[in-house]
Homo-oligomer: A and B are copies of this chain.
Amino acid sequence: MSTSAVVLLSGGLDSMVCAGLAREAGYEVIALTVDYGQRHRIELEAAAAIAARLAARHVVLKLDLRAFGGSALTDDIAVPKDGGGEGIPVTYVPARNTVLLALALAHAEVTGSDAIFAGVNAVDYSGYPDCRPEFLDAFERLANLATRRAVEGAPISIEAPIVSMRKAQIVRTGFELGVDFSLTVSCYNADAEGRACGRCDACRFRSQGFVEAGIEDPTRYQPGAPRRSEGTVRG
């Protein structure tokens, strides 16, 4: 019997690699993108293109987190372009991964899926509390108390296959899977055509990942963006 997995697909590089890993593990991929009012709406278009390339079912769920405010990713505040200093990044969205995983859990139950794949990563973005393995373990425990599936003895697993990978390892993994990185958008300041700024943390980690992996970077940059060899990565 074929089994399916709900894959949280943001449109970024990490989530596309994650989807590739879910498919390689034998799951039918059911892609879920949450439209939570993000400023970088080009991400939604990228997610649709990625789902189409994977021939995956794709659900886009609207959730207007802007009613809450509280973050540079959804508020009308500039995202910092040259590194963010210490501590938790200002791009933090409150309880974001809890909300995204909860929605994925609902979709997993409706679709009868056995797993949820999330492209969270505890290495590059270690300032986010909800990217840590102990958070993911706690969510898996919750999921198996929360659902009709659990009551009926069919556990669900929370898979975060890139949680401990450095960016270069994620790039290499995607390369081996044949992932078309040109479809993905990671930049917090991407323009309407999906071209990257080359300066924000997401751009720096991504660019450095390609350099370290020794793999050609197909990212399209905006005019005036720094060449990738100029990028430096914090930490």
- Residues of A with Cβ closer than 8 Å to B? 59-65, 67-70, 88, 92-99, 101-103, 105-107, 109-110, 129-130, 132, 134-135, 138-139, 141-143, 145-148, 150-151
Find out whether the CB atom of B148 lies under 8 angstroms from the CB atom of A129. Answer: yes
**A145 to B150, Cβ gap below 8 A?**
no
Q: How many copies does the complex hold?
A: 2
Q: How far is the CA of A135 from the CA of B105 in the complex (A)?
A: 14
Could you pull out 8 A-B pairs where Cβ atoms are within 8 angstroms?
Answer: A62-B63, A65-B106, A94-B105, A94-B106, A95-B147, A98-B143, A102-B103, A138-B142
Contact A94 B148 (CB under 8 A): yes
A66 CB, min distance to chain B CBs, angstroms: 10
**A62 contacts across to B, CB distance below 8 A:** 62-64, 67
Interchain CB contact under 8 A, A102 and B98: yes
Instruction: Output the least CB separation between A7 and chain B (Å).
Output: 15
Q: Is the CB of B138 within 8 A of A110?
A: no
B residues within 8 A CB of A143? 98
Are B129's CB and A110's CB within 8 A? no
A101 and B102 alpha carbons, distance in the complex (Å): 9
